[in-house]
Amino acid sequence: MSAEKTNLLNLDHAGLEAFVAEIGEKPFRAKQLLQWIHQHGVDDFDAMTNLSKELRAKLKERAEIRAPKIVMDQLAHDGTRKWRLEIDGGSAIETVFIPETDRGTLCISSQAGCTLNCAFCSTGHQGFNRNLTTGEIVSQIWLASKLLGHGPGGTRRITNVVLMGMGEPLLNFDNVVAAIRIMLDDLAYGLSRRRVTLSTAGVVPMIDRLRAECPVSLAVSLHAPNDKLRDELVPLNKKYPIAELLDACRRYCADAPRIKVTFEYVMLEGVNDSVAHARELVRLLSDVPSKVNLIPFNPFPATRFKRSSQEAIDRFRDVLIAESLTTITRKTRGDDIDAACGQLAGRVLDRTRRSRRPASTVNAE
Ligand code: SAH
C-alpha cells in the first residue's frame, strides 16, 4: 500500500517549506506552491507550469490538493450564498458569503458542530463531531474564491473573513491559527489582520494565546450583562466568568490604542433586551475598548426563544449610543436559506450524546 499523500491545503508557509525540504527541494518551491494553490486556485500539479516535469511527478506521487466536496450551493434573495461541504467521516459543515456594496465577507466554520451548547444557537443543539483540519478551514476560502471568481478590474470578491460559522475557533486553536496564517500570507490570500475576525464565546486562556501568536480582530459573544444570565445563555461562562473574560479583552487591546473588541449581543425577547440590561451593559463595558454588535435573534426549529421587537432593539441601541458606545445592529442576511447567524447546522454526527442531556431552563415556556 502506498503511503498516504500529504494534502497541501493543510500547510501554511512554514509547513510547506518543511514539506519541500523533505522531498529534497529548495525553500522557494514553497512560495510557488502557495501561489499556485491559493492565488490561482489550482489543484492539478500539471498546471503548475514553472515547476519542472520531475518535480511535478514527485508531487503527484507524494501530495494532493483536496478540498471537501460541495454537497449544496444555495443563493438567498439578498445575494447571500451558502455552501454545505461534506467532510471525511460523514458530517457536513457550512460556509456563507455575504456580499455588500463595499466588501464581501466570508463566514467560515472551525468545527463540525460545537461543544458549548449555547441555549440560543442551532449549531450547539446539533452536538459535536470533531475539529476541522487546517485544510478543511482553508478549503472554505479556497473553494469560495474559485466559485465567486474575480470582481470588476480583477478585485477580490472576498475582502473579509469572519470565523463566525459553526464551532468555537479557540477550541481548535492550532488548526485555526495555521489557517489564519494562510489567510494573511501575501502569497496566498493577503488579507490584513483587521479584515480577519475571530469570534469566541470566551475561552479566556486562548484569547491570550491568540494575542501572542496571531493577533487578528476579536469578537466576543457576550449576550448578557451579568453572570447569572450569561451562565444560562452561554454555559462556558461558568468556567470563565465575565470579569475574567473582560480582563482578557483588556489585555487583548493593551498597547494597541486603535484596537477594540466587538461584543456580540443576541437580542432575545424578554430575556436580555430591557433598558435595565442595556444600562448594565454600559457599566460593564465602560473601561474596555469596545464596539457592540446587536444581533436580532434568528429562529430555528425547536427553539424556545423569540426575536426582540424592532422597538426593543432600537431602544436598547439608543441607551448604548447615548453613553458613547459604538453600536450597530447586525443586518439579518440570508435567513430565507437558513444562512443567518446561529442558523448554520450542516449535518453533525453527534458524538456527545447531547440530546440526552436535560434542556436548559432559560425562557422555558
Ligand atoms: N463559537 C463562536 C463562533 C460562533 S459565531 C462564538 O460563540 O462566538 C456565531 C455568532 O452568532 C455568535 O455571536 C453567536 O452567539 C451568534 N448566534 C448564535 N445563534 C444565534 C441565533 N440563533 N441568532 C442570532 N445569533 C446567533
Q: What is the mean pLDDT of residues 20-39?
A: 97
Query: Whose Cα sits closest to atom 3 in ligand 1?
Result: 164
Q: pLDDT tens digit string along 195-242? A: 999 999 999 999 999 999 999 999 999 999 999 999 999 999 999 999
Number of H helices and E strands in the chain, helices first, is: 11, 14
Centre of ligand 1 to C-alpha 84, Å, is 18
DSSP 8-state symbol, 238: G
Reported confidence tier of residue 148, pLDDT bands at 50, 70, 90:
very high
Q: What is the pLDDT of residue 354?
A: 61
Query: Whose Cα sits closest to atom 24 in ligand 1?
Result: 297
Listing DSSP states for 43-58 in one string gives --GGG-TTS-HHHHHH
Q: What is the pLDDT of residue 353?
A: 63
Centre of ligand 1 to C-alpha 330, Å, is 12
pLDDT at 361 over 70: no
Ligand 1 pocket, residue 295 CB under 6 Å? yes
Ligand 1 pocket, residue 342 CB under 6 Å? yes
Centre of ligand 1 to C-alpha 124, Å, is 10
- Taking the domains of the chain in order of start, what are their residue ranges? 6-64, 69-361
pLDDT at 285 over 60: yes
8 Å CB contact between 295 and 308: no
Ligand 1 pocket, residue 298 CB under 6 Å? yes
Reported confidence tier of residue 149, pLDDT bands at 50, 70, 90:
confident
Query: 6-64 adopts what CATH topology?
Result: DNA polymerase; domain 1 (1.10.150)
Query: Whose Cα sits closest to atom 4 in ligand 1?
Result: 164
Query: Whose Cα sits closest to atom 21 in ligand 1?
Result: 342
**Among 199, 249, 261, 265, which residue has the most ligand 1 atoms within 8 Å of its CB, making it the best to mutate?**
199
**Among 221, 229, 298, which residue has the most ligand 1 atoms within 8 Å of its CB, making it the best to mutate?**
221
Q: What is the pLDDT of residue 355?
A: 52
* Catalytic site positions: 94, 341
Q: What is the pLDDT of residue 243?
A: 98
Query: Whose Cα sits closest to atom 15 in ligand 1?
Result: 221
Ligand 1 pocket, residue 200 CB under 6 Å? yes
Q: What is the mean pLDDT of residues 179-194?
A: 97
Reported confidence tier of residue 352, pLDDT bands at 50, 70, 90:
confident
8 Å CB contact between 317 and 288: no
Q: What is the pLDDT of residue 233?
A: 98
- 131 exposed, middle or buried (CB, 10 Å; 0-12, 13-18, 19+)? buried
Q: pLDDT tens digit string along 82-115? A: 999 999 998 999 999 999 999 999 999 999 999 9
Architecture of the CATH domain 69-361:
Alpha-Beta Barrel (3.20)
Torsion, Cα of 243, 245, 251, 257 (10° steps): -90
**Among 295, 303, 363, which residue has the most ligand 1 atoms within 8 Å of its CB, making it the best to mutate?**
295
Ligand 1 pocket, residue 297 CB under 6 Å? yes
Centre of ligand 1 to C-alpha 185, Å, is 27
* Non-local CB neighbours of 1 within 8 Å, separated by 6+ positions: none
Angle between helices 134-148 and 173-184 (to 10 degrees): 40
SS3 state of residue 274: coil
Q: pLDDT tens digit string along 41-89? A: 999 999 999 999 999 999 999 999 999 999 999 999 999 999 999 999 9
Location of C-alpha cell 500539479: 45
pLDDT at 147 over 60: yes
Ligand 1 pocket, residue 121 CB under 6 Å? yes
69-361 and 6-64 share a CATH fold: no
The whole-chain average pLDDT of the chain stands at 93
Q: pLDDT tens digit string along 268-284? A: 999 999 999 999 999 99
pLDDT at 357 over 80: no
